[in-house]
């Protein structure tokens, strides 16, 4: 198990396959791009990321969502930031450079990500970047349960990924 500390994302690579993949720098880049796109200063925030396997994420999914099956990514926001009105942007946190605000935790599973990337015919790094952007948006209060919220979240993801030189994942 390897742990790395970056300015924004504290990454723990519980599954050793994540280290040579480069999860820590990929997550740092994706999270920073997400915050910057929304006008937030990355050094004012902290995120914890667990790079794990399907068995571990299935346990987490069962414990926290009552769904005992693997999934690609899970997120646990430190605060409820969602907008009350459907389709409106959530209330974004203030941030603090002296005492960075914890946005929450993310877990991402190797086997599910690898399988989904292969099924979509795209590089795993591109798929994982999308999932990290998606999870960071969840930490910031974005959601996709209601149609208006889903449209806002997907449009925001597409714009962030385009800024990183990546294609629309929903095409």
* pLDDT, tens digit only, all 171 positions of the chain: 544 444 799 999 999 999 999 999 999 999 999 999 999 999 999 999 999 999 999 999 999 999 999 999 999 999 999 999 999 999 999 999 899 999 999 999 999 999 999 999 999 999 999 999 999 999 999 999 999 999 999 999 999 999 999 999 998
Q: Is 134 annotated as a binding residue?
A: yes
Contacts of 115 (CB under 8 A, 6+ apart): none
Scan for tokens 């599973």, then name that residue.
109
Residue 55 token pair: 């068995």
What's the pLDDT score for residue 1? 53
Strand partners, 108: 51, 73
Residue 36: per-residue pLDDT: 98
- Which pLDDT belongs to residue 3? 46
CA-CA distance, 84 to 138, in Å (whole number)?
15
138 is known to lie in a ligand binding site: yes
CATH topology of domain 2-89+96-163: Collagenase (Catalytic Domain) (3.40.390)
Query: Dihedral of the CA atoms 161, 4, 137, 157 (nearest 10)?
Result: 10
CA distance from start to end of the chain: 36
Neighbours of 161 (CB within 10 A): 23
Say which residues have a Cβ less than 8 Å from residue 70's Cβ, sequence separation at least 6. 54, 55, 57, 58, 61, 109, 111, 112
pTM of this structure: 0.95
């Amino acid at each position: 198990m390897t742990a790395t500390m970056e300015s924004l994302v504290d990454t723990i690579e519980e599954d050793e396959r994540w280290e040579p993949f480069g999860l820590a720098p990929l997550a740092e880049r994706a999270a920073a791009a997400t915050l910057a796109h929304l006008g937030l200063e990355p050094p004012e925030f902290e995120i914890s990321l667990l790079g794990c396997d399907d068995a571990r994420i299935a346990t987490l999914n069962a414990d926290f969502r009552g769904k005992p099956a693997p999934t690609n990514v899970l997120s646990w926001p430190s605060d409820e930031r969602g907008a009350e009105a459907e389709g409106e942007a959530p209330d974004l946190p203030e941030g603090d450079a002296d005492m960075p605000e914890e946005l929450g935790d993310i877990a991402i599973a190797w086997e599910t990500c690898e399988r989904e990337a292969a099924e979509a015919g795209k590089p795993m790094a591109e798929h994982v970047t999308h999932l990290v952007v998606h999870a960071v948006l969840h930490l910031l209060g974005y959601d996709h349960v209601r149609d208006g919220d889903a449209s806002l979240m997907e449009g925001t993801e597409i714009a962030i990924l385009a800024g990183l030189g990546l294609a629309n994942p929903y095409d």
